[in-house]
Amino acid sequence: MPTGGTFRRGDAGWPGGAFHLVVTVCVHRADGTVLLTQRAPTKEFAFGWEFPGGSAFAGETGRAAACRELLEETNVTVEPEALRRVGRFTEETALVDLFVVQEPSGSAVRADPAEVMDWRWVSLSEVSTLRTSGVMAAPWGPRLDALWPAVTASILAASPPHRQLTRERSTTARARAM
């Protein structure tokens, strides 16, 4: 429950038992790939891969914060109503809400170099591989352990059936051959 209190990031003396809201967004394409970003060298957990996100501002809803963070880090714009919250993970001083959203048509990722040094679209299985290989930013290990099943289920439910994708590719290939 929001308390209305504020605390400046980095200040000493975080109040015991208090949490701040962290939001993160897993953007997926119709082909099932998801957007990962690599943290800039100047950021905590430098060079680690993650889903775009960050802390909510005082008075900001989780959905509004998720939209703002996604825009700031990747230049991808989504509407708050398009986000589906798939779960919340509790850390020592943070409540982490993970949202899933389909990539908006016509969007183009343009990473903010102050936040993101690289980005890429990866398969769901590649996210799991990156998790076990240790290249995800450190906080993402426990987060993915807890939330990844709900994320994959949400993405698979929103993606067209595999047969449909195969048929579309065949139609496209025939059209190119003509």
Asked if residue 58 belongs to a domain, the reply is: yes
Asked if residue 50 belongs to a domain, the reply is: yes
User: For the domain that residue 170 is a member of, what is the CATH number?
Assistant: 3.90.79.10
Give the tens place of pLDDT for each residue, 66-101: 999 999 999 999 999 999 999 999 998 899 999 999
Residue 162's domain comprises 20-177
* Confidence tier at 7 by pLDDT (50, 70, 90): low
Number of domains in the chain: 1
Asked if residue 150 belongs to a domain, the reply is: yes
Asked if residue 157 belongs to a domain, the reply is: yes
> Tell me, what's the pLDDT at 178?
40
pLDDT above 80 (res 62): yes
In this prediction the pTM is: 0.83
Find residue 35's DSSP bridge partners: 121
> Tell me, what's the pLDDT at 86?
97
Give the tens place of pLDDT for each residue, 111-169: 999 999 999 999 999 999 999 999 999 999 999 999 999 999 999 998 766 533 333 44
Burial class (CB in 10 A: 0-12, 13-18, 19+), 146: middle
Asked if residue 8 belongs to a domain, the reply is: no
The amino acid that residue 153 corresponds to is A
Asked if residue 11 belongs to a domain, the reply is: no
> Tell me, what's the pLDDT at 93?
87
Asked if residue 67 belongs to a domain, the reply is: yes
Asked if residue 170 belongs to a domain, the reply is: yes
